Every structure is written in C-alpha cells, then in structure tokens.
Amino acid sequence: MEAKLTRKELLKNWALTYSSETAYNYERLQALGQANAMVPVIRKLYPEDKERQVQELKKYFVFYNTEPSFIGTMIPGVAAAMEEQRANGAEDITDETINSLRTGLMGPIAGIGDTVSQGIVYPILAGIACSLAIDGSYVGPIFFEIAYKICLIGFGWNMYRLGYQKGKSFILTMLREGTIARLTEIFSMVGLMVVGCMTASRVNIEIPMILNIKGVKLGIQEQVIDALMPGLVPLAITMLVYWLVRKKVNINLIILIIFVLGISLSYLGVLGIPK
C-alpha cells in the first residue's frame, strides 16, 4: 500500500516548523523544533510501526539552523517529500541523504531568508508603522502586525509547498546554477536601496550651530550643509558607525560610544534633532 501525505500533514508540518526556535539553544539550535515538526509526517508514513517512527525522527536531532519563517520552510518541505519517497521504497534515500541535503541547504537558504525578512520586510513595514504610531495613529501597530503576518504566511507556506512539490532535484539545480546566490544578491541590492533611503529619513539629526562671523550669522545646517547635500550628517554618521561595525567593534561598545558622543555633542550644541 502506498503511503501518501495529504494536505493535512503538510499543513501541520509547515505550521509546526514555526516552533523551531521555541527551545532554541547553542548546542543544536533549531533541531528539537524540526524534530517536533516532522512528527505528523512520520506518523502518517509509518502509522503502525512505532519503532520505525522513533528511528526516522532521530535523524532530525542533528545540529540545524536556518531562517525558519519566511524562506527556510522550504527545507522541511523537501524533507517531507524525501521521507514520502523513502517510505514508498526509494532505497537510495538514506538518513545521510536527507540530512546532508538539509545541512547543505540551511546556509544558503538562511542567506536569502534573513535578507528578505530582516533586510527588506521588517525595515519597510516597521518604518511605516512607527511613523504612523508616532503621529498618534493606532493604525501603525495594527498595520504592522497584519502586513507582517501576510508576508510571513505568504512566503512561508509557498516556500514550503515549493520545497515539497519540486523536491530536492530542483533545489540542487538551483544551488548548482547559482540561482540562490543570484537571488540573495538581488534581494540584498533591494535591501541596500531601502536602507539607503532610510539613512536619509530615519537618522534624523543635524548640526544646529550658528556661526557669527563679523556680525553675519551663518547657520551651518541651513546655509552650508543643506546647500551642499541635505542628509550629509546622517550619511556621515552612518558611515562612521558602519566603519566601526566592519572593524568588528563590539556592538555594545558602539552603543556606548553613541551614548557618550551623542550626549556630549548635544550639550556642546554640535548635534541636535530637526525642529
């Protein structure tokens, strides 16, 4: 008799992968959550054989870490497809085949997933939502929650389905042809343009000093910087911080520097926020 996964198990498997970071830990990262997610699949494929269920689930206890919510759902999709083929007698699929594929995919997929979720979706939606909220509109957080979840579920479920339907050969081809690398780079480009735009709009700072040269008042910000390049101050500050990040300076130390410099330069009247 052929063991076939129905939409029900696939939905359960997909939904449960969202528990990947519940018992998130340094030793094996998302392994336990992945094992938890595979239970409905394995139970369906080996309904009578408890021992076999245990044996099949055990392989998911290896170290596993990817971006689990947006793009990374593809990997359990592929795993479910492979488990299904294996339960139906595809003997060339071993524990090692499944795990080496999962392990091989988790890095590149995390690259795209983190770029899409944290480099594009989050900054755009949060940027809009915060502006609304600061202006006193309750639409802000509610818009964020709804739009974010639409993106999460839209990406997550479709990537899972893609993984399940197209299976490993498709994904291996993508890896080999460099499609994943190309996609990562293109999403990164989009993300960079978004954060470039945000540097101008979100790093909201200027130099409010007014020089008094022989009785003529010269406003540094209005008359010098805005004439040269509006947004020069935010860009310069961002580049400075970027340089520190690139130098691998500890993030907490950078925060400390920002606090110390920000406070002292504010007291000296060098930096201020636009009125």
Partner 1 sequence: MLLSAILVAIISTVCNWWPSHLITRSWLYPIWSGFLVALAMGEPMIGMQAAAYINLAYLGWITAGGTMPGNLPVAAVFGTAMTILSGADPSLAVTFAVPFSLFGILTFQLTMSINALWVHRAEKFLDNGNIRAMRLMNYVPSGILNFLVTGVPAFILVYFGAEPMKNLLNMIPDSFVNAMQVVGAIMPALGIAMLISFMGNKKIMPFFFFGFILAVYLKLDVMAVTAVAAIMGFVFYNTGFLDMKPAGKEQS
Instruction: Please list every residue from 165 through 184 that binds partner 1, using CB under 8 A.
Output: 178, 182-183
Q: Closer to partner 1 at the Cβ: 4 or 196?
A: 196
Of 3, 104, 127, 170, the one binding partner 1 by CB under 8 A: 127
Map residues 31-70 to x or -, x wherever contact with partner 1 holds by CB under 8 A. Answer: xxx-xx--x---x------xx-xx--xx--x---x-xxx-
Produce one character per residue of 206-218: b if its CB has 16 or more CB atoms within 10 Å, e if not.
bbbeeeeeeeeee
Burial of 83 (0-12, 13-18, 19+ CB in 10 A): buried
The verdict on 201 binding partner 1 (CB under 8 A) reads: yes
d(CA 177, CA 73): 21
In SS3 terms, the chain reads as: CCCCCCHHHHHHHHHHHHHCCCCCECCCECHHHHHHHHHHHHHHHCCCCHHHHHHHHHHHHCCECCCCCCCCCHHHHHHHHHHHHHHCCCCCCCHHHHHHHHHHHHHHHHHHHHHHHHHHHHHHHHHHHHHHHHCCCCHHHHHHHHHHHHHHHHHHHHHHHHHHHHHHHHHHHHHHCCHHHHHHHHHHHHHHHHHHHHHHHHCCCECCCEEEECCEEEEHHHHHHHHHCCCHHHHHHHHHHHHHHHCCCCHHHHHHHHHHHHHHHHHCCCCECCC
Q: Which stretch binds partner 1 (CB under 8 A): 2-10, 74-82, 96-104, 255-263?
A: 255-263
Footprint on residues 133-162 left by partner 1 (CB under 8 A): 133-134, 136, 138, 140-141, 144-145, 148-149, 152-153
Footprint on residues 64-103 left by partner 1 (CB under 8 A): 65, 67-69
The verdict on 249 binding partner 1 (CB under 8 A) reads: no
C-alpha radius of gyration, the chain, whole number: 25
Of 11, 200, 210, 211, the one binding partner 1 by CB under 8 A: 200
Q: Closer to partner 1 at the Cβ: 118 or 173?
A: 118
What is the closest distance, in whole angstroms, from the C-beta atom of residue 157 to partner 1 in the complex? 10
What is the closest distance, in whole angstroms, from the C-beta atom of residue 56 to partner 1 in the complex? 11
Q: Which stretch binds partner 1 (CB under 8 A): 5-13, 80-88, 93-101, 126-134?
A: 126-134
Q: Closer to partner 1 at the Cβ: 104 or 141?
A: 141
What is the closest distance, in whole angstroms, from the C-beta atom of residue 192 to partner 1 in the complex? 4
Of 20, 78, 101, 163, the one binding partner 1 by CB under 8 A: 20
The verdict on 252 binding partner 1 (CB under 8 A) reads: yes
Of 88, 173, 204, 223, the one binding partner 1 by CB under 8 A: 204
The verdict on 209 binding partner 1 (CB under 8 A) reads: no
Q: Closer to partner 1 at the Cβ: 192 or 211?
A: 192
